Structure formats: structure tokens, C-alpha cells
Amino acid sequence: MENTPPILVKTASGECPVFVRNGALRSLGEIAAGRVRGRTARVVTDSNVAPLHLDAALSSLRAAGFAAGASVVPAGEASKNLARLAALWDDFHAAGITRRDLVVALGGGVVGDLAGFAAATWLRGVAVIQAPTSMLAFVDSSIGGKTAIDLPCGKNLAGAFHQPVAVVADPLALRTLPPRERTQGMAEAVKTACILDAAFFARIESFAGRAPTDDEQEDVIRRCAAAKADVVSRDEKEGGLRAILNFGHTVGHALETILGYGTVPHGEAVAVGMVAAAKLGVALGVTPAGLPDRIERLLRALSLPTRVADLPDGPARCTPDAVAAAMLSDKKKLGADLHFVLLEALGRAAVAPLRPAAIREKLPSIL
């Protein structure tokens, strides 16, 4: 792929190169041929992405010698369910996908989670390449091997760690996204800056309130990919350090569960969750007093919500009692405690085990 070196994720599961380059999707087949022994591929995508990028993906795979077909699921979070998972297994069987072959997840976070989990569980695990097309997937969900589906009782509760054999990230795909989709993905970039890199936070502040240039956009993707690659390489299965990547997600996932999956985009829910977590940190004496306001200003400049009142039906449905109950179903609950990610400073995070009752007491003021 020309001379752009990939970012490497190195774990016990193997080495995953992350290619970030304009036009990278054209090299999908070339990359796949170098990463798997088989020559049968199944591209999983959704009804929004298929008309835009599926032909290019299939053409690249076929040019590299793959017998490639596609499974198209309805766009939206509602597709992350057991029925869609079972349908993909049927498709893999019909396509003759063996342990030497390949699944390609072409799309945003929903497709990446669903296709990745299907690959992780088909024949006890077949290779998957993540080919993200959304900002959220570029900067976060396509990297690191987390895969999952939603259950009625909570988000991402059934899943597996299944590292991709490669990530093929083509920033040109962002040109096809509606503005709201580009915006919600920036929440995960802000999250990365909050927990790992104060200078990166200032960089985002420098262009918040206007459309970033192509160079700025690629810089955001590369910085986030490199940061996540480093964290995952040191803690593949969230035994310690990787947990900081959940900043804003405990409250965010609770809001998604209450309002219904897909009602509020993931990035928007996480934006509200980050402000809540920052305020909780201040209340507990962990986070500097002025930091929640700075985070909130940046998120608002990026046209992201920052409070429950900004969400459709938020004040009526996301009451403190409802949020507290939803958090108790979160996968980050360990024993009697909720493990909450708090900021010790901008660019430095820590995981704090907190009693649910202590969090419930503070929810009215932080939401």
C-alpha cells in the first residue's frame, strides 16, 4: 500500500496492521491476500453503506483472487441482535467459509461489532478484516478486537475479543457520511484526548466549530488509532489499562439502553456520559474543578449533546433511578461495584470501583 507504514497492534493473539490512507479500500484485496490462506471472503455491510462502498470492496477482493460475496443487514443498532447473528452464520455456511477464509466488516460500529462477533463464533473463529466507514469506527471501534451484540437487558452483553487480522481505514469514506454521523464519531476522539493526550485535546479545540480539513481529519484518525493500538497492545482483554477506554461509557450505555438502541447515536450518548463522569470526578475530589466545563464547551462546539436534557425524551425517561438501574446491568459491573473511569487530569484517567448507591446519590447533579 504505497509507502504509508501501518500502525501495529501487537497482542498475544497476533499482530494487526492498521492501514490509514486515502484510497485504502482499493487495496483491501491485496491486504487480505497477505493475511489469510483461503480465497473465499464474505463482506458484511449494511443497507446504508452497501450502495456506496460494497462494489469497490468486492472488486478489490475479486481482483486479488477471492470468491467474494456479501451479506447486507438493515442499517442501525437494531441489527445487533441474535436473529441477525444467526442469519450471518447461515450465510457463512452457504458461502463455504472455512477456518482459512475471511469475513470483512465493511461499515460503522454496528457492522464491526456484529460481523466481528459472527466471525469470532463461526467455526470457533475465522479471520476478520475491519474496514470502517464511519468516524466512530475509524477512531475507536474497528481497533482492538471487541465484538458484541445487544440483548434486551443491556448493550454489548454477549460478545468476544476477536482481533482483526487487519484494519483498512480509508478516510475518503467519511465524505459519504451525513453531518450528524461525522459529528457523533468525534465524541470518541474527544474521549481519547481526555484520557490519554492533553495536547490532542487542544488540537481538537483548535478546529471545533468548523468543518475540519482533510489533513486535520486524517490526523485525528491517526492519533486515535495509534493511541488505541498502544493501549490494546499492552492490555488486550481489558484486565487493567484498557478499561480507561470506557470513559463516558457507563452512563452512555445506560442512556442507550433506556431510550432504545439506535434512538440516540452511540457517540452522542457517550458525550453526555463524559460530562457526567467528569462532574462525578469533581464531586469525589478526583477531577480538577474546571475540567467538566472545558470538556462541555468542546463537545458543544462539536455540536454534541452534553446533558440528559439535550436528548429526545431524555428528561422524562432518563431519570436518576432509571439510569442507576441500567448501570447495574452494565458489563463493567464487577461484584458489588461499578468500575467508573474518572479523570485525574486532562490526559490522565483512572478506574475507580464505586458503590452503586454512592453514584445514585450524585446522579441528579451530574446528569
CA 40 to chain CA centroid, Å, is: 27
pLDDT tens digits along 215-246: 888 899 999 999 999 999 999 988 889 999 99
The low-confidence residues of the chain, meaning pLDDT below 50, are 1
pLDDT at residue 320, as a whole number:
94
Q: In the chain, what are the helix, strand and coil shares in percent, each to the nearest 5?
A: 55, 20, 25
CA–CA distance, 271 with 188 (Å, rounded to integer): 8
**Right CATH for 7-176 from 3.40.50.1970, 1.10.10.2840, 3.40.605.10, 3.30.70.520:** 3.40.50.1970
Strands, DSSP E only, in the chain?
7-11, 14-20, 40-46, 67-73, 102-107, 127-132, 146-151, 154-161, 166-169, 333-334, 337-345, 348-354
- C-alpha cell belonging to residue 263: 434512538
Give CATH 1.20.1090.10 domain extents, the chain. Answer: 179-366
CA distance 185 to 284: 29
359: β partners = none
CA–CA separation, 298 and 337 (whole Å): 31
Q: Which residues are annotated as catalytic?
A: 124, 146, 188, 228, 238, 242, 246, 249, 253, 266
From the candidate CATH numbers 1.20.1290.10, 3.40.50.1220, 3.90.1150.140, 1.20.1090.10, the one assigned to the domain spanning 179-366: 1.20.1090.10
pLDDT in tens, 269-311: 999 999 999 999 999 999 999 999 999 999 999 999 999 999 9
